């Protein structure tokens, strides 16, 4: 994710009008071959299930993004609210991570009891819709600390999530809480460390509650990405990418080497989705979508 305001604005725009935000950049020379440049549709290895986060592409209409995804050669888009599922279905694309249909907030989350009633209502409403549509995964957030200590936050999250997780279990749905950095982008966010998120998973004790491990965010707050994945992969149900620093392309301009990270994820036996969630630096939609294609090439190990 980008900064708080950008992510909030993107979510608001998606839920109201259906668009998103992203960009483009350079290409890892070791992955950019003449063969790849000539082909529109990639011949993917199928070791990674690729996806992309819609919010990153504010200037690209959802239908155009759907067409581009199909042309690149993968079949899923992340962070889609119910109002836009019909567009994905039109192009036979999968909603690999759903939003509920209400007012999605990163700051007003399950760690604060005041928000439980509305959150339970929102997730109780969306889960039956997901079942009908054939979707399996929905995102949630801890919310901001607002001076709250870790233990109180854990207890409150357990209390608020239990009825939702119970409903998820009955319907084959997995609820994912995203790990976000509190150092740069989401000041005061509570679920900003893997250890805290893993403890929440243990207390809920359900295979239908997992963490969304955002590689960009956790590189900023923790580092040691590959070891963290190796040690905690059983609690990770979904992955997001992003270049560090800046949350731009995942190429040679940033500090992470994504092919090695993808290989580490594959080695754990992971069969879920890895969604590109970087903000391209390109100035037009064509270059933005070219950056997406390049990121898929980099991650297709």
Degrees to nearest 5, angle at CA 276 with 144 and 293: 160
Q: How confident is the model at residue 21 (pLDDT cuts 50, 70, 90)?
A: very low
pLDDT for residue 5 is more than 70: no
The CA distance from 95 to 3, in Å, is 24
Q: What pLDDT, on the 0 to 100 scale, is given for residue 8?
A: 53
pLDDT for residue 4 is more than 60: no
The CA distance from 230 to 252, in Å, is 24
Q: What pLDDT, on the 0 to 100 scale, is given for residue 6?
A: 55
Task: Reduce the DSSP state of residue 202 to 3 states and report it.
Answer: helix
> pLDDT digit string (tens) for 36-82?
444 579 999 999 999 999 999 989 999 999 999 999 999 999 999 99
CA distances (Å), origin 285, targets 60, 265, 288: 6, 30, 5
pLDDT for residue 35 is more than 50: no
Percent of the chain with pLDDT over 70: 87
CATH of the domain at 40: 3.20.20.150
Residue with tokens 């836009």: 84
The structural domain count of the chain equals 1
Domain, as residue range, for 274: 4-299
Environment class of 33 (CB within 10 Å of its CB; exposed 0-12, middle 13-18, buried 19+): exposed
**Token pair of 289, please?**
């979508």
The CA distance from 260 to 240, in Å, is 15
Mean pLDDT to the nearest integer, 101-127:
97
> pLDDT digit string (tens) for 276-294?
999 999 999 999 999 999 9
Mean pLDDT to the nearest integer, 24-32:
34
For the chain, give the mean pLDDT: 90
Scanning the chain, the segments in alpha helix (DSSP H) are: 4-17, 34-38, 62-72, 85-90, 116-133, 150-171, 194-204, 215-221, 225-232, 258-267, 285-299
The CA distance from 56 to 38, in Å, is 26
> pLDDT digit string (tens) for 196-216?
999 999 999 999 999 999 999
**Token pair of 79, please?**
């962070």
> pLDDT digit string (tens) for 223-250?
999 999 999 999 999 999 999 999 999 9
Q: What pLDDT, on the 0 to 100 scale, is given for residue 40?
A: 72
CA distances (Å), origin 219, targets 6, 204, 229: 20, 26, 12
Q: What pLDDT, on the 0 to 100 scale, is given for residue 33?
A: 39
């Amino acid at each position: 994710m980008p900064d708080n305001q950008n992510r909030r604005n993107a979510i608001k725009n998606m839920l109201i009008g259906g668009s998103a935000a992203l960009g483009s950049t350079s290409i890892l020379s070791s992955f950019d071959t003449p063969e790849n440049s000539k082909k529109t549709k990639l011949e993917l290895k199928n070791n990674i299930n690729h996806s992309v986060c819609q919010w990153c592409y504010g200037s690209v209409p959802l239908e155009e993004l759907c067409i581009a995804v199909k042309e690149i050669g993968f079949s899923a888009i992340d962070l889609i609210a119910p109002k836009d599922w019909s567009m994905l279905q039109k192009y036979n694309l999968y909603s690999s991570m759903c939003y509920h249909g209400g007012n999605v907030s990163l700051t007003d989350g399950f760690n604060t009891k005041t928000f439980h009633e509305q959150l339970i209502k929102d997730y109780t409403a969306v889960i039956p819709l997901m079942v009908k549509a054939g979707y399996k995964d929905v995102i949630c957030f801890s919310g901001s600390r607002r001076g709250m200590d870790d233990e109180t936050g854990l207890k409150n999250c357990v209390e608020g999530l239990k009825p939702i997780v119970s409903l998820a279990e009955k319907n084959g749905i997995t609820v994912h809480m995203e790990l976000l950095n509190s150092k740069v982008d989401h000041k005061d966010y509570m679920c900003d460390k893997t250890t805290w998120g893993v403890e929440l998973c243990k207390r809920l004790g359900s295979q239908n509650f997992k963490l969304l491990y955002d590689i960009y965010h956790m590189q900023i707050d923790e580092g040691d990405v590959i070891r963290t994945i190796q040690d905690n992969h059983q609690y990770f149900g979904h992955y997001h990418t992003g270049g560090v620093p800046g949350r731009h392309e995942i190429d040679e301009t940033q500090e992470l080497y994504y092919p090695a990270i993808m290989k580490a994820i594959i080695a754990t036996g992971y069969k879920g989705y890895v969604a590109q969630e970087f903000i391209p630096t390109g100035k037009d939609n064509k270059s933005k979508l070219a950056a997406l294609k390049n990121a898929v090439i980099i991650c297709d190990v």
